[in-house]
Amino acid sequence: MLDTFAKALSFILVIILGYFLKRIGKLHPNDFAILSKIVMLVTLPCALLTNLNGIKIDASLLYVFLLGIFCNCVTIVAGWLLTRGKSNKERVFSMLNLSGFSIGLFAMPYVQQFLSPEGFLTVCLFDAGNAVMCTGLTFALATRFYPCAPDNTTPPFFRTLFSSLPIWAYMLVTVLGLTGLALPQHVINFTHIAGDANSFICMLMIGIVLELRLDPTRFRSLLIHLAIRYTLMVGLALLFYNFLPYEHDIRLALTVILFAPVANISLIFTLRIQGDMVLSANINSATTLISVIIMTILLTVI
């Protein structure tokens, strides 16, 4: 237990470091884009290959991919139902900013230090389904309720999805896992170097984008969105942990990953509908802080 808390504290300290460096002007929000490219192109794919190499995949775990899609659909529907009577823009905002899970840039580098290889693989498969939604399908579904949105605003999510190196890394380790094969050790020696840096860079990025300055109106809206989001996640977590027919490590991984922060890409889509960027950024920041606490507790006590 002490080891778990020590690891969690180290992550929090890196987040604080990133925020501090931003506050004193040594790092800037624009640096987030540069670091995110390093993560998506180098460190995250390497971390996936290093951690999942040689893992044998039971075909039944492929249903976890569908769970990633299902959980996104639940939050989209909740955002739509719970904003009845409000403007179309507000409804689309809630659908975008209640859904999605920041797994690749946050949860994955965090939980990879705590979960078993099977549990980490579960997170990857869940994120594959989550990625299908986050990269465009959620935006396409949400904007049908926003008649002012141009017809060409929906991004080509399949092209975006399969141009992502982490997705190809998922596909490679999945094929290898299903066939019982593994990458050569000299390849893993190379990926291990970059993979080890993934967690640090991702936590630093979170510190760079943290910003919790809200007026009273936005603060009230923030609390409403957080209450809806985490009420849904608690319900799904209880359902998954107690009733899914999987081993403990897999059910634990699914339970923990449900409390990942809102997907960062919701900020981009909020900008595209000319929504409240300040509120969207603070929802992301607040869920990041809350997720560190909840996920650490779950990894410690379950």
CATH number at residue 272: 1.20.1530.20
Q: What is the domain extent for residue 66?
A: 2-301
Name the average pLDDT for the chain: 83
When pLDDT is cut at 50, 70 and 90, the band that residue 151 belongs to is very low
Q: How many domains does the chain have?
A: 1
Q: What is the pLDDT of residues 255-284, one digit of tens each?
A: 999 999 998 788 778 877 888 887 888 898
Between 17 and 8, the more confident residue is: 17
Residue 265: φ, ψ to 5°: -65, -15
